[in-house]
Amino acid sequence: MKGLKKQRRIQIVALAAVALVAATALIGYALKDGINFFRSPSQVIAEPPQPSEVFRIGGLVEDGSLVRGEGEVIRFNVTDGGAVVPVTYRGVLPDLFEENQGMIGTGTYVDGLFVATEILAKHDEEYMPKEVVDALKEQGVYQEPDGS
Can you give the pLDDT at residue 148?
46
**∠ CA 78-83-87, rounded to 5°:** 30
pLDDT tens track for 133-145? 777 777 666 666 5
Cross-strand pairs, 55: 37, 107
What pTM value is reported for the model? 0.64
The residue extents of the domains of the chain are 1-35, 37-139
- 37-139 falls under which CATH superfamily? Nucleic acid-binding proteins (2.40.50.140)
pLDDT tens track for 49-70? 888 888 899 888 888 888 887 7
Query: Distance (Å, rounded) from C-alpha 72 to C-alpha 24?
Result: 41
Helix (H, G, I), strand (E, B) or coil at 103: strand
Find out whether 54 and 36 touch, Cβ atoms under 8 Å. Answer: yes
pLDDT tens track for 106-119? 999 999 999 999 99
Tell me the residue ranges of DSSP E strands in 40-125. Answer: 55-61, 67-68, 73-79, 84-90, 102-110, 113-121
Banded model confidence at residue 23, pLDDT cuts 50, 70, 90: very high
Mean pLDDT of the chain: 83
